Amino acid sequence: MSWYVVYCGKVPGVYATWARCNAQVTGFKNNSYKSFPIKEEAEASYLEFMGCEDDKVFVKPPPKVVRNTPVLFVVAVVQSFFLLVLLWFVLARCYNCL
């Protein structure tokens, strides 16, 4: 069984079948891939291509999701309250002027 490394394609990586490898390189301009007889060689080649050492893949952690929806809700309510008080004050003052 052969293993395939896609260096430049839709989704670079190591693939176990030609069909999956071919799906990643077909239609991708300037694609690059190579076949290996064993999985370990394919993984080592891919890691070397990615610039990783000692079989360590450095993955950038996902961005931290800030869940401050309650804070935003409170701010919106407070702003709305002050807007209503200001509107009431202006209308009451104008009503007295008439």
If you ran DSSP here, which 8-state letter would residue 69 be given? H
Helix, strand, or coil here: 84?
Answer: helix
DSSP 8-class letter at 54: T
Q: What are phi and psi of 5, to 5 degrees?
A: -110, 125
5 and 49 in contact (C-beta within 8 Å)?
A: yes
pLDDT value of position 49: 87
pLDDT digits (tens, 9 = 90+) for 17-52: 999 999 999 999 999 999 999 988 998 899 888 876
Confidence of residue 65 (pLDDT cuts 50, 70, 90): low
**Closest-CA residue to 34 (of 12, 57, 4):** 4
- The model carries a pTM of 0.54
Mapped onto helix, strand or coil, the DSSP state of residue 8 is strand
